[in-house]
Amino acid sequence: MAYLVGNIGSLIINDSMWGVVHQKKKHAFAVEGDKIIWVGEESKAPACDARLDVEGGCVIPGFVDSHAHPVFAGSRELEFAARMAGETYQAGGINSTVTATRAASKNELRANLQRLQSELFAGGITHFEAKSGYGLDVETERISLEVAREFTEDTTFLGAHLVPLGANPDSYVDLVTGEMLEAAAPLAKWIDVFCDEGAFDLEQSRRVLLAGIARGLKPRIHANQIRNIGAIDLAIELDCASADHCTHLSDHDVDLLAGGNTVATFLPGAEFSTRSAYPNAGRLLNAGARIAIATDCNPGSSFTTSMGFCIAVAVREMGLSVDQAFYAATIGGANALRDDTLGNITEGNRADFAVLDAPNHFYFAYRPGVQLVTQTFVAGKKVFERK
Ligand code: NIG
Ligand code: FE
């Protein structure tokens, strides 16, 4: 049972050349099961059982959100308001979400994630990563990952998000790399650590990532959000799939990222919501590194589910063209998750796409904050329709 997506005003396709985005006219594509099986001029389309007429709308590949912390309870708007009144962001705020998450039932965590997933879909995100990291004890980290796994294959164990209040840092790293990792490993694909001032230092981070790797997880890292403590060296040393935040980068870091296999993932919502200086993402592209943009959805430093918002901020503040930011939010996210079946409308890829009430993808930056997505499809099935 194949269907053709036709009458597309502009079909947005990413080139294999980094940052090059095409706006194809008179193009259509065919979907069978969960995959795209054909892309080309509509006049040459193969016979299909059904047709989805998008009435001249623009169709984009779904956004790939490669960095999100959507398993939690509670909120921190007072902390946000205090920051906007002059307080600085510190890693320690995580503890208040930990208290709320530990007190929540599994059903509440699931319902919270369900609601966030609806928002992600409404903004055109069709695939997302989900980290644990607001449990920080064996039981709550396990439950967090069980819930995350109901929604995505890209689950990430982030027991090393913060040393919980009252714990001894070295004993806590023992727990994360021991009993907690044992509980998490069957449920997670990735291991992550917040390697930064006020969280985990380089040695502790290396221990966490190496223990995860030894247990079959693949590494990624929160690097240099608050201060540059050398996390990029560690990311390259361990071939992390991505180094995320990259708010503070030295020339040495830029050279390393340009020469390595690690994607630099930018999180514009985090600088926005912590009132921090924006890093220059364009500098990395010019050096030859690969980049991604992600939401970092979490209740503390970036409580957004909108990739459109992140693209708009990246274009306005981080030295990217609209095409580059769009590419980073689609192919970039797929690269950061090391999954080449996502992030583009091309034969063989998962059929993840969104229809826009706009002529092209420039509108995400040109009309910031506006609901442009009218329909979203994941693996060939409709998951969102604008009322
Ligand atoms: O990616 N940097 C560490 N973790 C989150 C923030 C967590 C929080 O403040 O709750 C982030 O920004
Ligand atoms: Fe994060």
Report how far residue 98's alpha carbon sits from residue 159's, in angstroms, rounded to the nearest whole number: 11
Establish whether residue 204 lines the binding site of ligand 1, counting it when its CB lies within 6 angstroms of any ligand atom.
Answer: no
The architecture (CATH level 2) of 64-336 comes to Alpha-Beta Barrel (3.20)
At residue 91, the pLDDT reads 77
On the question of a common fold for 2-62+343-385 and 64-336, the answer reads no
Report how far residue 322's alpha carbon sits from residue 263's, in angstroms, rounded to the nearest whole number: 19
Assign domain 2-62+343-385 to its CATH superfamily.
Urease, subunit C, domain 1 (2.30.40.10)
- Ligand in closest contact with the CA of 268: 1
Nearest-CA residue for ligand 1 atom 9 is 300
Expressed in angstroms and rounded, the spacing between residue 129 Cα and the centre of ligand 1 is 14
Nearest-CA residue for ligand 1 atom 5 is 301
At residue 6, the pLDDT reads 98
Which residues are found with C-beta within 5 Å of the ion, ligand 2? 296
At residue 89, the pLDDT reads 86
Expressed in angstroms and rounded, the spacing between residue 70 Cα and the centre of ligand 1 is 11
Residues with Cβ within 8 Å of residue 321, at least 6 apart in sequence: 19, 315
Q: Which residue has the tokens 């870091």?
A: 253
Distance between first and last Cα of the chain: 27
Q: Which residue has the tokens 């997933």?
A: 117
Q: Which amino acid, 102?
A: R
Expressed in angstroms and rounded, the spacing between residue 315 Cα and the centre of ligand 1 is 22
Pocket test for ligand 1, best of 75, 298, 303 (most atoms within 8 A of CB): 298
Give which of 120, 50, 118, 48 is closest to 310, Cα–Cα: 120
Nearest-CA residue for ligand 1 atom 3 is 194
Expressed in angstroms and rounded, the spacing between residue 166 Cα and the centre of ligand 2 is 23
At residue 92, the pLDDT reads 76
pTM of the predicted model over 0.95: yes
At residue 36, the pLDDT reads 98
Report how far residue 111's alpha carbon sits from residue 385's, in angstroms, rounded to the nearest whole number: 20
Establish whether residue 134 lines the binding site of ligand 1, counting it when its CB lies within 6 angstroms of any ligand atom.
Answer: no
- Ligand in closest contact with the CA of 224: 1
At residue 35, the pLDDT reads 98
Residues with Cβ within 8 Å of residue 228, at least 6 apart in sequence: 248, 249, 250, 253
Give the angle 15-296-16 at the CA atoms, nearest 5°.
Answer: 10
Expressed in angstroms and rounded, the spacing between residue 91 Cα and the centre of ligand 1 is 7
Atom of ligand 1 nearest to the CA of 296: 1
Report which secondary-structure segment, H or E, holds 321. none
Report how far residue 242's alpha carbon sits from residue 335's, in angstroms, rounded to the nearest whole number: 9
Per residue of the chain (387 residues), give pLDDT as tens: 899 999 999 999 999 999 999 999 999 999 999 999 999 999 999 999 999 999 999 999 999 999 999 999 999 999 999 999 999 988 778 999 999 999 999 999 999 999 999 999 999 999 999 999 999 999 999 999 999 999 999 999 999 999 999 999 999 999 999 999 999 999 999 999 999 999 999 999 999 999 999 999 999 999 999 999 999 999 999 999 999 999 999 999 999 999 999 999 999 999 999 999 999 999 999 999 999 999 999 999 999 999 999 999 999 999 999 999 999 999 999 999 999 999 999 999 999 999 999 999 999 999 999 999 999 999 999 999 999
Pocket test for ligand 1, best of 69, 192, 224 (most atoms within 8 A of CB): 69
- The torsion defined by the Cα of 30, 33, 35 and 41, in degrees rounded to 10, comes to 0
371 in the Ramachandran plot: left (φ > 0), alpha (ψ -120 to 50) or beta?
A: beta
At residue 138, the pLDDT reads 98
Report how far residue 183's alpha carbon sits from residue 140's, in angstroms, rounded to the nearest whole number: 10
The domain segmentation of the chain, as residue ranges, is 2-62+343-385, 64-336
Pocket test for ligand 1, best of 67, 78, 89, 94 (most atoms within 8 A of CB): 94
Expressed in angstroms and rounded, the spacing between residue 208 Cα and the centre of ligand 1 is 18
Report CA-CA distances (Å) from 208 to 222, 265, 309, 360.
Answer: 13, 20, 33, 43
Nearest-CA residue for ligand 1 atom 8 is 300
Establish whether residue 376 lines the binding site of ligand 1, counting it when its CB lies within 6 angstroms of any ligand atom.
Answer: no
Establish whether residue 97 lines the binding site of ligand 1, counting it when its CB lies within 6 angstroms of any ligand atom.
Answer: yes
